[in-house]
């Protein structure tokens, strides 16, 4: 079921280089590189979270369309097509350029909503030309996702394990940030037209500022000694490969890409299954299918916050203990299918299961298992290929992840019926 970490055929060169220079690895002073990759992980999902969290505002402005479902389809289709394109042409593109363009694309897409609200919409309902512009902004954000998330995870795959853990934990922190923003806006702003506009403005303003910070941080990263160190190792590995095989032809790259996919496919299928199970339950199940007469509309917000907090906890646990056995991690991905009958009982089972406490516990368990096993598989996968191809392996893993998102979103419509 895959190649054990550290024993991958073809990885001897970079292993020798790493061993030879192990004593000379620069320190990550003040954990700055870790912080940068954590921030980039958060930034890679923050624009999507801004669009989907402001869905109350969009539902009010455009009452006759299913905003959240249309957003999800547009975003995922564009991101998936973008990732496929990047995987095929990964060896011809510059990761730094991709990520910088993606971050800029994020900023432009996020600016569309507040600017259009201020100069055109102004709180009016039914101006559907504005909806089509918003869909365009969501699609542009999907392009940014393909460029940024694929590039950042690919870049982290070329570094020691803790930096991939930082990126993955950052993606969870993005959800936690948005959840707390949602709680704040619900507590402070009225749920009328002005309150919804103020909430949406806050989501997009925070995201724009954060993305601007990410642009600065990402361009600082290559100047850090520890990043330079691993870039040198990568270039040495690339040059050695060129000497052995000559300048890589298109057909040779296809063969190399096929080998990368072959080595990482079980890790990727594990991530696909994790995201497929999670997205078929969360957030649809917790926002539409379960209800609380006591907590009312706060119930969904509490469940979403609980999921996001425990997702972050799970992704941070790999910094404390990293499961090195990929077969156990992939087996655990399959075992998460047990969440289906358990959540089903919370809808149709005995009255004991159809209360707030079992649903909350299961939602938190869904989050922590999603976070931990996603982090494990994303960390291990790039290590089973040669160093010079670790970046491409990271992009391939993101591709599996997005396919899992798409499958989970479709299954969410049917499994509870």
- pLDDT, tens digit, for every residue of 260-271? 999 999 999 999
Rounding to the nearest 10 degrees, give the CA dihedral for residues 361, 184, 408, 154.
Answer: -110
Nearest Cα to 167, choosing from 148, 177, 152, 179?
152
Q: What are phi and psi of 191, to 5 degrees?
A: -90, 35
Residue 193 CB burial class (10 angstroms; 0-12, 13-18, ≥19): middle
Q: Where are the alpha helices (DSSP H) in 282-355?
A: 284, 298-317, 326-335, 339-348
Report the pLDDT value the prediction gives residue 251, as an integer from 0 to 100: 66
The pair of three-digit structure tokens given for residue 208, joined into one six-digit string: 């724009």
The pair of three-digit structure tokens given for residue 117, joined into one six-digit string: 């609200």
- CA dihedral for 311, 379, 215, 91, sign (positive or negative): negative
The pair of three-digit structure tokens given for residue 258, joined into one six-digit string: 């096929």
Report the pLDDT value the prediction gives residue 247, as an integer from 0 to 100: 56
> How far apart, in whole angstroms, are the C-alpha atoms of residue 381 and residue 5?
8
> How far apart, in whole angstroms, are the C-alpha atoms of residue 152 and residue 139?
20
Cβ-count burial 123-157 (b if 16+ within 10 Å, e if not): eeeeeeebbebbbebbbbbbbbbbbbbbbbbbbbb
What DSSP designation does 56 have?
Answer: H
Return the residue matching tokens 């516990």: 361
Q: What are phi and psi of 282, to 5 degrees?
A: -115, 135
Q: Which residues of the chain have pLDDT under 50?
A: 1-21, 417
Nearest Cα to 141, choosing from 65, 213, 236, 44?
44
Q: Where are the domains of the chain?
A: 29-411
Report the pLDDT value the prediction gives residue 371, as an integer from 0 to 100: 96
> How far apart, in whole angstroms, are the C-alpha atoms of residue 58 and residue 200?
9
Report the pLDDT value the prediction gives residue 16, as an integer from 0 to 100: 46
Q: Are 71 and 139 in contact (CB under 8 A)?
A: no
- pLDDT, tens digit, for every residue of 392-409? 899 899 999 989 988 888
Report the pLDDT value the prediction gives residue 4, as an integer from 0 to 100: 37
> How far apart, in whole angstroms, are the C-alpha atoms of residue 414 and residue 198?
35
Query: What CATH code is assigned to 29-411?
Result: 1.20.1250.20
Q: Are 33 and 224 in contact (CB under 8 A)?
A: yes
């Amino acid at each position: 079921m895959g190649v054990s970490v550290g024993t991958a055929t073809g990885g001897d060169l970079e292993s020798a280089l790493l061993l030879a220079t192990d004593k000379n690895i620069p320190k990550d002073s003040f954990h700055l590189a870790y912080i940068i990759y954590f921030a980039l992980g958060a930034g890679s999902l923050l624009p999507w979270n801004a669009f989907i969290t402001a869905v109350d505002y969009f539902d009010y402005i455009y009452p006759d369309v299913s905003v959240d479902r249309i957003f999800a389809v547009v975003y995922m289709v564009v991101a998936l097509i973008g990732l496929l394109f990047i995987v095929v042409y990964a060896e011809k593109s510059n990761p730094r350029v991709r990520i910088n363009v993606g971050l800029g694309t994020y900023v432009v897409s996020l600016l569309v909503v507040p600017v259009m609200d201020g100069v055109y919409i102004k709180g009016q309902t039914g101006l559907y030309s504005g909806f089509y512009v918003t869909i365009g902004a969501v699609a542009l954000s999907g392009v940014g996702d393909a460029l940024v998330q694929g590039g950042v995870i690919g870049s982290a795959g070329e570094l020691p394990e803790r930096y991939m853990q930082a990126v993955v934990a950052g993606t969870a922190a993005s959800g936690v940030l948005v959840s707390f923003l949602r709680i704040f806006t619900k507590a402070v702003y009225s749920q009328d037209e002005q309150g919804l506009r103020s909430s949406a403005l806050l989501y997009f303003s925070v995201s724009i500022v954060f993305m601007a910070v990410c642009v600065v941080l990402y361009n600082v990263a290559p100047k850090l000694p520890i990043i330079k160190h691993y870039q040198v190792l990568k270039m040495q590995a690339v040059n050695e490969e060129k000497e052995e095989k000559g300048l890589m032809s298109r057909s040779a790259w296809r063969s190399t890409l096929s080998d990368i996919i072959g080595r990482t496919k079980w890790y990727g299928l594990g991530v696909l299954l994790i995201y497929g199970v999670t997205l078929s339950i969360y957030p649809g199940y917790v926002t539409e299918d379960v209800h609380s007469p006591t907590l009312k509309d706060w119930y969904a917000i509490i469940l979403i916050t609980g999921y996001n907090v425990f997702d972050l906890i799970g992704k941070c646990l790999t910094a404390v203990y990293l499961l090195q056995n990929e077969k156990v991690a992939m087996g655990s991905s399959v075992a998460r299918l047990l969440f289906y009958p358990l959540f089903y009982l919370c809808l149709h089972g005995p009255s004991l299961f159809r209360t707030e406490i079992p649903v909350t516990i299961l939602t938190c368990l869904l989050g922590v298992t999603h976070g931990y096993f996603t982090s494990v598989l994303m960390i291990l996968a790039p290590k089973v290929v040669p160093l010079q191809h670790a970046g491409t392996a990271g992009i391939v893993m993101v591709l599996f992840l997005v396919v899992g998102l798409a499958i989970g979103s479709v299954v969410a419509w049917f499994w509870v019926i």
